[in-house]
Structure formats: structure tokens, C-alpha cells
A and B are shown apart, each in its own frame.
Chain A
Amino acid sequence: MSNKDLLGRRNFIKGIGAAAGVAIAAPAMAVSESANGVKWDKEVEVLIIGSGFAGLAAAIEATRKGAKDVHIFEKMSYFGGNSAINGGLFAAPDTPMQKQEGVKDSVATMVADQLAAGRGIADEALLRHVAEHAVEALQMTLDAGSEYHPYLQQLGGHSVARTYQTTVSCGAGITQPLLQECRKIGVHTHNRAKFDGFILDEKGGVVGVKMREGYYFDKPESGELVRIKAKRGVIMATGGFAQNVNMRMAQDPTLTAEVGCTNAPGATGEGMFEMFRLGAVPVHLAHLQSGPWASPDEGGFGYVSNYSIYNFPHSIAIDRLSGKRFMNEIADRKTRADAELNCRDAQGNPLPPILITSYEDSKKHPNTKKVLKYNVGWKFDSIEELAKHFEVPVAPLKQQIAEYNEYVKTQNDPQFGKNMTEAKGKYIKAPFTVVRLWPKVHYCQGGVQINTKAEVKDSLTGQSIPGLYAAGEVCGGIHGVSRLGSCSIPECMVMGMTAARTMMQA
């Protein structure tokens, strides 16, 4: 297709879109084209698409490895993607804080925990590669100025405490310093720039991209099409597709628009889909993860998510119909999300369960104050008061709390087999804080297949696609069925750094 035809068709489609009042035309244009006879509008050395952990880490590492002209393109008006709204929880084995706290851990232990959650289909080589380099990634954030709470956390599915968290309890505590670092070292950052397709040489290698500059997310047809040559290649760091309801439902019809989502609006996946069109191997697309710690009382991730992630080990989750526990509060995410979805009233309508914590223990987390202040959580002085507010049968609830407190004492939970170590001495007693729970679509385990060099494999040839690298949530198969909490930040950053290293050596 010549450029002229391309534009002609574009304008034609634009007309239809405007007339019908719907914007459906954009995806039809996102097709790769041959570099043969292309008039390049620009040329850059390293071209990165997406400005989350993966893209930012790739840009910094490429610069450290000697790249002089590194560019990050981001379709939204703001930088950071999911990474900027993420919970700031960062897992790594053999860290300085583990040594300080006397926690015994290793690359092998972290990989083993992740393999268990992956239920046999995780990519062991990639998990090992990430675990081996996780401390380097942590160091990159520290060098850029990230600050972490002075304690470690043990999240669901992890056999030891190995999770750092930024002092602001948010991924922005990492993306903001990394973005500043990028600017300091001369990385060029472009907002409102939407990747629209690859440009290929005669061997099928990626030599550039089509980009729409001046793109407005709420106007899918906006922006000026430019063709940018990438001398060393292209790193795709465009994240997942949890906001793409059609694609979600194609994989799992229960994930309708009525199911909430924790992701940033830009997580629509077209970068991933374009790689599939190019020949990348789609892996594990149907494994979409829902967060069992989210609240129906606020949008997205909000304040409750981190509040409950911190509090689950010393809290009880109660089914409001029965007044009883219904799950191991620190089982992996899928186990808990499925259990929560089963909490329904007599008519089968969702009846979000509640998480009960002693205020004495919950107040140690900075979000507790906010949860109460912004009316997404409540404080009660007695079980009666609590039970009345949520219409929970009070007698079974009282009995359940008494039984559970016995488990805290004996350090053994015969009911659901919860590991009670972190609950030691933390009895459920008044005053209480309570939040409601309901899962939200959170993470896409699926994506394009990569190797430990962050190269993207072609499904037909079995070879790496020349000039193309991918890192972060856009990649699939690494975690298998279920990703453990706090394991995405190390993955995104390590694979972003890896992509940059491979590209600079190529």
C-alpha cells in the first residue's frame, strides 16, 4: 500500500467514523508496512514505546550502556501507565533488608514460590533470570531516589518476607524518580504519541514504527501520522489489556464491563496485538488475574487495596450471609478472588464480603487513616455495632472470631490452613476496622513470548524477530496461571534493562 493510498483510506474511514458518531476506525489502520520506499520523518537511536517501569528502566539502562539518543513514546497525556498507579510493592530475594531482618531467602526460593502459584505453566528460565537481577533493579530505583518503608512484607503466596514498598505506598514512588532520572540523563520523552504499527525491512525485521503524534485518547482518530526510523530497534513496553473489555471477554466471558478494573485507562493492548499480527507467539492470554483485595466502594486500585494487602495476614474475611470465614486470607490471588465471587445473597446477587481487622494492628499502615477519612472503610467499637452495619448474623460471627483467636494462639488454622506466623499475637479484638472486598480485573498474565534476552519470538520461524524487543506486562507466560503480588515490578524493570542490554550488544 503506498503512502498516498494509506492516507486516502484513512480520511475515508475518518469520515465514516465522524458521521456515525462512533470511533471504530482506528484499529483498522494499525497495520505494519514495508520500509521499501518509506519516507522517514525522523530517525532515533533507541525507540521505546510505553512509559511504565519497563520503558523507563529500558531507557535508563540503554543510556548507561552508551546510547546517545533514546526516546520514549507514550500515547497518554501523562507518563507512567499502570506503573504510576501501582501499589509500590517490590519483591526481590537476597536483599540488604532481608539480611538486616535475618530472613533467609534465595533466588531458588523465590522462583519456587512463583512456580507454585504458576501451577505448572510458568516459565522457569524467565523467572530465574528476573530473580537473579531483581536486586540490580531495586538498586536502579534507589539510585534514582526512590524511598522504601523500613520494613519487609510477606505477601500472599510468598514463603518469606521479601517485599519492599515505597514510602508513598505507590509505584509513583518509583516512576516519578525514574522519569526525572530519564530527563536528567537526556532521554527524550514524548506524550500524546501513539504507536500505530511497525515498519519492516525486506527480511521482516523491525526497522521503525508508525506513530501518531498529537494523539488524544478520547479521540481515537486524532494525531498526525509520522514514520520514525529506529537505528538499533524498538522496545515494546506497552503493558497489558485489562481495560479492553472485548479482549477480556474473548478470553473469559465473565469479565464483562460490569466487573471493575484496577488499571490505568491506557491498558488497551494494541501494541501487544500488533506484535501478534507480526507473528509473535501469543501465550496464556486467558489467564487474567483479578485482585482479591479491591473494594467496591471506590474506583480502580484506590486506597483499600494496599490497606488490605497489608492487613490480610492478621485479619479475617467474613461471608456476610453466614458470618463465617470462607477462605485462607493469604492464599494466592486466584484462590481468594474465586472465593469472594462465591459470596452472594439468597438471590445470587453479589454480596461483597468484609475484612475485619483490629484497629491496633491496622493503624500501622498509612492507608488506614485515609480509608476511614474517605469513607471506603469503617471503624467500630463492638462486634454488635459492626454486625448491624453489615447485616451479618452476630452469633456465628462472635463464635468465628473466638475460634480464630484460638488459631492465633496455637499458631494453627485447621479451618483453612492459613500460615499464622504473621498473625502471631494479633488477636481480632475491638475496636475494629472493616472494608468491603470484591475482585477487580488487575493483571494480564498473557502476552507475547520472549526469551531471557527480551527478544520476541516469531511463531512461524521459531527465530527472534530482528529489531524487536519486549518487556513488562506486554509479555506473557512468565508467571503462569497466577502472578504473585509484588513480582511484576522486578519483572518489568529487569526485562526492560535486559532489552536495553541486548539491543546495545546487537
Chain B
Amino acid sequence: MKKCKLMLGLVLAGLVSLSAQAIEQRDYHKEVIGKDCKACHDQGMKNYPSDQACLQCHDVDDLAEQSARSEEDKWQNPHNNLHYGKELPCIECHGEHEAKKPICSNCHTFKYDKHKE
């Protein structure tokens, strides 16, 4: 936590450009979470956020509604999909600090225009 803030401080001061990558963050998350790394890193700073961490703020049913597809493609909804329903942990497809491909792309050529890699 301390380290995280410190690094941010350095970056903001323009001293260390290298760390910029380490704290890349989505704009809307910056607004809500700010610099509180622990808001997501509930399993310690060195670990991924738990599978429940994102669900403190995001609701699976809402997400499923937002990403719903037409009847014909209804099971390609990443938040309620054919293989795993609504149970897929967020970090399978989303990384706050790193680009990730949706897990579907292991086998399918679906396009998710709004998915930020």
C-alpha cells in the first residue's frame, strides 16, 4: 500500500517513467478508487484481487444485462455464457494493469468491441 502510493507519487512528479506501466489504471476507476490499491487488492498487494473483489462494486446481473446479445447469440454473452454461466471470475478476461484477451478467444473469433484488452 505504502509502496503503491509512493510509486504513484514518483510518477506524478515525473521522476520515474518506468513505473507508469505498473500502475496503469482505467480512467473511471481512477475517479472512484483513486490511489487506494487495497480497494481491489484484497489478498495483499502481491496477489491478484480475489474473485469477489470486483463484485464489491459491479453486479453480475447488471453486467450480463449490459453485454446481452441477440437471442441467436445469447450464449456469447461474456457475463452469462454457455460454458460457465455467470461464474467466470472477472480476472479471466480483465486485467486492470495489463492487457488481456477474452477467454472466448481460446476457441472463438467473436468480437467484443467494448472489451478493453
Contacts of B84 in A (CB 8 A): 78-80, 84, 172
Is B56 interfacial (CB 8 A cutoff)? no
Nearest residue, chain A, Cβ from B51: A77
Most buried by A among B51, B105, B106, B110: B106
CA distance A216 to B109 in the complex (A): 26
Residue of A nearest to B90 (CB): A77
Assess the B110–A374 pair: CB atoms within 8 A: yes
Bound Cα distance A299, B102 (Å): 13
With A78-B92, A216-B48 known as contacts, the answer to whether A374 contacts B109 (CB < 8 A) is yes
Assess the B92–A299 pair: CB atoms within 8 A: no
Cα-based distance from A216 to B51 in the complex (angstroms): 11
**Chain A positions within 8 Å of B45 at CB level:** none
Residues of chain A in range 169-194 having any CB-CB distance to chain B below 8 Å: 170, 172, 176, 191-192
The stretch of A21-29, A120-128, A300-308, A450-458 that contacts the partner chain: A300-308
Contacts of A77 in B (CB 8 A): 51, 88-89, 91-92
Query: A170 CA to B85 CA in the complex, in Å?
Result: 13
Complex: how many Å from CA A299 to CA B88? 19
CA of A80 to CA of B84, assembled, Å: 8
Taking a contact as CB atoms under 8 Å apart, the answer to whether B82 and A172 are in contact is yes
Residue of chain A at shortest CB distance from B92: A77
Count of A-B contacts judged by CB separation below 8 Å: 53
Please, what's the 1-or-0 string for B75-101, where 1 marks a CB less than 8 Å from any CB in chain A?
100000011110111011000000000
**Shortest Cβ distance from A198 into chain B, in angstroms?**
28
- Checking B43, B72, B75, B82 against A369 with a beta-carbon cut-off of 8 angstroms, the contacting residue is B72
Whole-angstrom distance between the alpha carbons of A301 and B106 in the complex?
Answer: 9
Contact residues on A (Cβ < 8 Å of other chain), bracket: 20 to 34
Q: Does A420 contact B (CB under 8 A)?
A: no
Residues of A within 8 A of B107 (CB): 85, 298-302
* Bound CA span A247–B92, Å: 26
Interface of B is mostly: loop
Which residues on A sit within 8 Å (CB–CB) of B43? Answer: 214
Q: What is the bound-complex CA distance between A115 and B84, given in angstroms?
A: 35
Residues of B near A374 (CB, < 8 A) are 108-110
| Contact call A84/B106, Cβ cutoff below 8 A | no
- Flag whether A265 is at the interface (Cβ < 8 A): yes
Q: Please classify the interface of chain A as helix (H, G, I), strand (E, B), loop, or mixed, using the class held by over half of its residues.
A: loop
Tally of B interface residues using CB under 8 Å = 20
Per-residue 0/1 for A193-217: is the Cβ within 8 Å of any B Cβ (1 yes, 0 no)?
A: 0000000000000000000001010
How long is the Cα–Cα vector from A170 to B107 in the complex, in angstroms? 13
Specify which chain A residues have a CB less than 8 angstroms from the CB of B91 in the assembled complex.
Answer: 77
Residue of A192, A265, A299 near B108 (CB, 8 A) is A299
> Please, how many angstroms separate the alpha-carbon atoms of A78 and B68 in the complex?
21
The answer, yes or no, to whether A351 is at the interface (CB within 8 Å) is no
With A168-B75, A216-B48: A80-B83 Cβ-Cβ less than 8 Å: yes
Which one of B48, B85, B106 contacts A176 once the chains associate, using CB atoms below 8 Å? B85
Min CB gap A284→B, angstroms: 27
**Do the beta carbons of A78 and B87 come within 8 Å of each other?**
yes
Q: Could you say which of A80, A170, A214, A376 contacts B109, with CB atoms under 8 Å apart? A: A376
Tell me, rounded to whole Å, the shortest Cβ–Cβ distance linking A187 to chain B: 15
Taking CB atoms, residues of chain B closer than 8 Å to A265 are 106
Residue A410 CB within 8 A of the other chain: no
Is A463 on the interface with B (CB-CB < 8 A)? no
B87 to A, closest residue via Cβ: A78
Is the beta-carbon distance between A299 and B105 smaller than 8 angstroms? yes
Given A80-B83, A168-B75 in contact, is the A298-B109 Cβ separation under 8 Å?
yes
Q: How far is the CA of A100 from the CA of B107 in the complex (A)?
A: 36
Expressed in whole angstroms, the Cα–Cα distance for A303 and B104 within the complex equals 12
What A residues does B82 contact at CB under 8 A? 168, 170, 172
A214 to B48, alpha carbons, bound, how many Å? 11
Smallest distance from the beta carbon of B64 to chain A beta carbons, Å? Answer: 15
By the criterion CB–CB under 8 Å, are A300 and B106 in contact?
Answer: yes
Cβ < 8 Å to B, chain A residues 286-313: 297-303
Give the shortest distance, in Å, between A461 (CB) and chain B (any CB): 41
B-chain residues with CB within 8 Å of residue A172 when the two chains form the complex: 82-84
Interface string of B6-28 (1 = CB under 8 A from A): 00000000000000000000000
Given contacts A298-B108, A300-B106, contact A79 B72 (CB under 8 A): no
Rounded to whole Å, the gap between the CB of B59 and the closest CB of chain A is 19
Q: Which residues of B contact A349 (CB under 8 A)?
A: none
Given contacts A84-B83, A302-B107, 14 further A-B pairs with CB under 8 A are: A77-B89, A77-B91, A78-B89, A80-B83, A85-B107, A191-B51, A298-B107, A299-B106, A299-B108, A300-B106, A301-B107, A302-B109, A369-B72, A374-B109
7 nearest A-B pairs in the assembled complex, by CB-CB distance? A300-B107, A77-B89, A172-B83, A374-B109, A84-B83, A299-B107, A78-B84
Q: List 9 A-B contacts (CB under 8 A).
A: A77-B91, A84-B83, A85-B83, A214-B43, A298-B107, A299-B106, A300-B107, A374-B108, A374-B110
